[in-house]
Amino acid sequence: MALSVKQTDHYTYVDEGTGQVLMLLHGLFGALSNWEDVVNEFKKDYRVVIPMLPIYEMPIKQAGLEGLREFTEGFVRLMQLENMIIMGNSLGGHVALLYTLNNPEKVSRLVLTGSSGLFENAMGGSYPKRGSYEYIRERVAYTFYDPVVASKDLVDEVFETTKSIPKCMRIVAIAKSAQRNNLALDLPKIQVPTLLVWGLNDTITPPMVAYEFNRLIPHSQLQFIDRCCHAPMMEHPETFNRLVRSFLATT
């Protein structure tokens, strides 16, 4: 079932279900659709909210982690969200961590999957090459353990994005901002229960990164999914959702 997308002011978002807020944050090349299986599973028991991060539209001088954190703070204020569970994939996990560090009173739990913030092999070691469809196809496939998950529609979507020089400039600026923004010294300040769900075959934020997150975040637990790369919620949605449900059921 396709997600219903809404628009308020300059925010594009999904808002489905009722109950405690579960806010989902997508990655650098992510989209609202990345979370479709999570939304369909959890909207029965939670209010699932997904803001579309303005990665391709934000002013170039603001294109970075702090700009995305401020955008998220503005969205939370507009929607009057409280007592949130925040779930972030890749860059979205990084934004979730920055938001939590800056607004600890708003967050009750964190779920991070393939998060940046310590180390990431961005774009498989290189930045987007404008106009090369084959390059984009290879880079998108690199995100998944099973390249079949990198559907033509997904590759086409990323390719269309990288054809734009202004969008590419923002992508590079944000990727470099993420690499500079190392949270090793700040992670011990995270005091909410945190679940780390990692692909055992993640090539972008490898398993050693997950172990380091687990070591540095005080109340964290780590779960690996085998035959899985950088987007567990897309590659193994049933396993991912089961792990999250188990975590949220604990007191």
Q: Indicate the number of domains in the chain.
A: 1
- The Cβ-side half-sphere exposure at 223, using a 13 Å CA radius, reads 18
Q: What is the pLDDT of residue 147?
A: 78
For 189, phi then psi, to 5°, come to -80, -10
The amino acid that residue 199 corresponds to is G
In a domain, 92, yes or no: yes
> Residue 86's domain is classified under what CATH number?
3.40.50.1820
In a domain, 69, yes or no: yes
Element (H, E) at 84: strand 84-89
In a domain, 141, yes or no: no
- pLDDT tens figures, 91-116: 999 999 999 999 999 999 999 999 99
Q: What is the pLDDT of residue 251?
A: 66
Higher pLDDT, 57 or 211: 211
The pTM of this model reads 0.91
- pLDDT tens figures, 128-141: 455 678 877 777 77
Three-state SS at 94: helix
Residue 185 has pLDDT above 90, yes or no: yes
Expressed in percent and rounded to 5, the helix, strand and coil fractions of the chain are 45, 20, 35
Q: Render the burial of 25-36: b for 16+ CB within 10 Å, e for the rest.
A: bbbbbbbbbbbb
Indicate left, alpha or beta for 131 from its phi (over 0: left) and psi (-120 to 50: alpha).
left
Q: What is the pLDDT of residue 123?
A: 47
In a domain, 166, yes or no: no
Residues 6+ apart with CB under 8 A from 147: 141
Alpha helices in the chain (DSSP H): 36-42, 65-79, 91-102, 133-142, 152-162, 165-180, 207-216, 232-235, 237-249
Q: What is the pLDDT of residue 206?
A: 96
In a domain, 175, yes or no: no
In a domain, 173, yes or no: no
Residue 85 DSSP symbol:
E
In a domain, 172, yes or no: no
Inter-CA distances, 75 with 31, 45, 49, 80, 180, Å: 17, 22, 10, 8, 25
Residue 2 DSSP symbol:
P
Domain that holds residue 236: 5-120+181-249
In a domain, 71, yes or no: yes
Q: What is the mean pLDDT of the chain?
A: 90
Identify whether the C-beta of residue 240 lies closer than 8 Å to the C-beta of residue 43.
no
